[in-house]
Amino acid sequence: MRVLLGVTGGIAAYKVAIVVRRLREDGHAVRVIPTLASLNFVGRATWEALSGQPATSDTFANVPQVEHVRLGQSADVVLVAPATADFLATMVHGEAKDLLSNALLVTRAPVVVAPAMHTEMWEHPATQANVATLRERGVHIIEPASGRLTGADSGPGRLPEPDDLVEALYAVASGTPVADDPTGFGQDLAGLSVLISAGGTREPLDAVRFLGNRSSGHQGFALAEAARERGAKVTVVAANVVLPLGEGIGRIDVETSAEMADAVATASRDADVVIMAAAVADFRPANVSAHKIKKPASGEMSLTLVATPDILAGLVAGRRAGQIVVGFAAETGDADGTVAEHGAAKARRKGADLLVVNQVGEGLGFGDVPNTVTVLDHEGVPIASASGTKLAVAHAIVDTIAHLRAH
């Protein structure tokens, strides 16, 4: 997902550098907007090095791209950390005095704010009134921690630890309100082993060409992150995915459908839940040339294709008692049926415990874009649906899996 991270002028800004690193390790794009005051604590070069993107503060930077509007419009979620007492007041009054405050006025994404300041400032009636107003407007507030502050002072007002900030951000992105649990997630998959396939297989045609698909692995990797956040031990079999995985998630890289089948067959033996989110080729070339095939003089060439192993069907047939198998169906709809009709037919044909159906196509479903899915049971009956960022959709899918296990 695309995270817009605002950093204001408090000494706790140094902690937020770790937040950027964690988000990047988890595969998210992060754009940092530091206020000018914050640069007294952490320099611009640090934010740019950690995020891999410019860290501008000036409203009039990159005017041709209307950046003060575009940054807010393109964000999936916004985090302001630390948020000073001054900046809370800026937000309440809707001021547009710098790049960050402009972006906040434009964005329609969920906004998470982590105040950090001295105890007296946090407890001041004006600050408390500003926090209450922001909450009424739908801003998610992460309560400050209590502990050592600047100098010898101690008390409420301390910025929570970086991991707590990240987990709260993920909670909001998935549609879960920030609560007493700082992670925002239950641990409903604690102790479980979850295997997830992601990406798209490539079937070689000759020494340089292959048959492939547009699957990027974003949804599969989001599922891995969601499962990990909820306590599972997660392994991903990744087919041609260039995205990074979060810390602590196992990874097996494969290229072809045959390699995918072998890896999944081995890794699924000990898995409690298997989620086949990868786009596995249905066919492969019957013959693979060791050399690059030259263009025929006629300008025409015929290929003979043979069916690849049906990995999902094999998992369903061989699943052990208590193991949950989840399939995916990326559909476009055609003259023979709608996306929903094709998905229902596949659910009945495959017999997986759950089948996640989504419509795909140019600019739809593939890549780092919002997704919309319907979850079907083994009889093809819709039992859940979700729309939003890949991470939000992933948590909705995990919700359905957890409910199935519980019942």
Q: Is residue 33 part of a domain?
A: yes
Residues 222 and 165 in one domain: no
Q: Is residue 353 part of a domain?
A: yes
Q: Is residue 351 part of a domain?
A: yes
Q: Last residue of a domain, which of 124, 142, 173?
A: 173
Residues 240 and 313 in one domain: yes
Please tell me what DSSP assigns to residue 87.
Answer: H
User: Terminal CA-to-CA distance of the chain, rounded, Å?
Assistant: 32
Mean pLDDT of 183-187: 52
Q: Is residue 147 part of a domain?
A: yes
Residues 200 and 73 in one domain: no
Count of residues for the chain?
A: 407
In which domain, by residue range, is 112 found? 2-173
The total domain count for the chain is: 2
Say whether pLDDT at 148 is over 80: no
Residues 246 and 106 in one domain: no
Say whether pLDDT at 201 is over 50: yes
Active-site annotation, residues: 213
Q: Last residue of a domain, which of 139, 173, 207?
A: 173
The two three-digit tokens of residue 313, written as one number: 């069907």
Residues 337 and 399 in one domain: yes
Residues 137 and 39 in one domain: yes
The tens digit of pLDDT for each residue in 76-100 reads 899 999 999 999 999 999 999 899 9
153: CATH: 3.40.50.1950
pLDDT band at 7 (very low <50, low <70, confident <90, very high): very high
Q: Is residue 265 part of a domain?
A: yes
C-alpha–C-alpha distance, residues 134 and 359, integer Å:
37
Residues 164 and 244 in one domain: no
Bridge partners for 152 per DSSP: none
Q: Is residue 183 part of a domain?
A: no
| pLDDT, position 363 | 55
CA distances from 14 to 38, 46, 53, 142, 190 (A): 10, 10, 18, 18, 32
Half-sphere exposure of 349 (CA within 13 A, CB side): 10
The tens digit of pLDDT for each residue in 267-317 reads 999 999 999 999 999 999 999 999 999 988 888 889 999 999 999 999 999
Residues 244 and 131 in one domain: no
